[in-house]
A and B are shown apart, each in its own frame.
Chain A
Amino acid sequence: MSDKHPPFFVGYLPIPQGLKQWLLLVSALLVAGMAGFGLVMGIAQDDPGPGAFRFDYGRQTVTGVVELTPYPLVRVTEGNERIAPGTTLMLSGQGKSNVDARAIPLEGQLAQVSGIVLQRGTLNMLQLRGGRNGMSAVEGAAPAQSSKPLGRWKLAGEICDGKCLAGAMRPGTGLAHKACANLCLIGGVPPVFVSSKPVDGSEFLLVTGPDGTELPKSLYDQVGEYITIEGEVERRGDLLVFSVDPTTVGEPE
């Protein structure tokens, strides 16, 4: 075999001597390269945020007044050591489902709710147990609940579903998570606005459409995206409600 021809590899024959070292080198580089990519890609992952299902608290049961925004809330009047009176709980069913069927008949009334807490910063959600165990009317008059209008705001941030954000998923925000968030919203899980700047101390606001309607379907196209939008902000206990005007969607500067 003359020098100007490199060793010739035939798959089913033994590897020619002259190629062995080269192939050893290439194989080592390949394996090391895969390992290196695994490491760098693995440590390039962003922090998914502190939201969590608080299974460590165990099942929580509290009493409060049911309100519809139209997304149902419970304004806690009788709490426990984890959930203080004055807390406002957003509600969800198991998975990507809502509790409207149970909450709507109890609007304005006192009810006992029971389930697992999801928590992220100032945001509290309760995933109710099934049936009457999760939500049932309580005898007695419902104490009046105050709500305080905070005026019209233009906010920059992202609409996402309140459950994944609050801790059902980490990460539970962003465009990679958009389809998942939409699926939650289709299921009636309350949407939340993550504001780039806190409003009255809170960076999370429950979102509704104008005048006590659900989030308009037209805004599903903007879920997960960084946008600006205008609307009325109202404080209900420790929760802010942002009723947005869908015609004001814009791009942040």
Chain B
Amino acid sequence: MGAGPAGMSAAVAAADGGLRVLLLDEQPQPGGQIYRNVGAGCAAPKWLGKDYAAGSQLVDALARSGVTVQSGAAVWRVDGGPRVVWSQNGLSRVTTAPYVLLASGAQERPVPFPGWTLPGVMTAGAAQILMKTAGMLPKDAVLAGSGPLLYLVAAQMIDAGCPPKALVETQTHGMLLRALPHLPKALFSPDMLMKGLGLIGKIRAAGVPRYKGASGFAATGDGSGMVNFSFRCKGKLQNLKCTLLLTHQGVTPSTHMSRAAGIKHEWNAAQHAFQPICDIWGATDRPGLYVAGDGAVINGASAASATGKLAALDILRASGRISADARNQRATTSLSALFRARAIRPFLDAAYQPPAEILSPPDQTIVCRCEEVTARAIRQGISEGANGHRQIKTSLRAGMGPCQGRMCDATVRGILSAGKASRMGGIDPPRARAPIKPITLGELAALSPQSEDTA
């Protein structure tokens, strides 16, 4: 499940090893988030960079591999067995297979602040998806938040001829100082370091105004569609008027499916997120269920490809196609790629931590966008005795809307721990239950035992 670099690499390696593979992805094209739309048949614009263009090699390899690819296919249930239930064009089907790899990737960490629900406020990733899939360039946009993807989007906008109006960054000198001890290890990822420096150099050369150590984000609309963005920087209140405010605070693993499938999860304190527990091959505590890529832990695209391959090799071993020795031998290149990709993470995680006010935003902020529950209401719920996600959900409906908590889980956790990152891991992850993607009752009712196939 998931046709990003992790799922595509795994599918190709498993098919090369002689297995019959079904690859399901809810997007119209394989590619995942990083290589969105790369195989759509049109030449990628230069401004997306050479890393993006590299995705077409993976998509081509997939096309040649004999893997059955189903696009527009949303997986909404995974059971032990394993058994996968997926929906395509309004019809659900059940597929059983001895091994299922979940490579569901990441989502952007929500950046809640007063006004983040206004039309005109979007995620930086959303703007990048519009650039990749529709060639639509943001007009007069401010980029706000922190993290490598924020710099990448800024650089892509500069190259596309629509530079951001300003870059408003939340990271402080303190965070950078705390990240410095991780820098020597990061030297094992020279490509990534050079790429990061190149992006920052490009932003500097383009003369984009930068506000560092910013806090206190707030946005208001003025009826004409413009967004008034205010924040504090160096003790001063700043105001920027823009048509588009793009926010970003890093990405977190998409764990709805792995949680709903009953896989055990653990708190990653450096990345402020829950992630499924797995071994180096991606095997979990549920027989036959594997995880790989950013959905297992955030390590970026080259690590995603490597972990996808490692999972495929172990599945080949478990299904008796290759010996453990052959698996280990064939794993060496992927293991060293994984080592290089991981080396820079402790530095990035420390340098671009989400600020406390994003984890636990001011009272008037809407936390649950679907059910319109504010931070104030959640704090009141806590003062009345709610001590976990479940009580907040039953008493206030936060997490009960169509997004099923994808937009508010992290903030509810932050408020429960009063914004103290050190306490966030002590709260159990919220339950996720099938269907993990909303489907109609009609579609459920039409599911019959005859709709079962084997992969």
Q: Do A and B come from one complex?
A: no
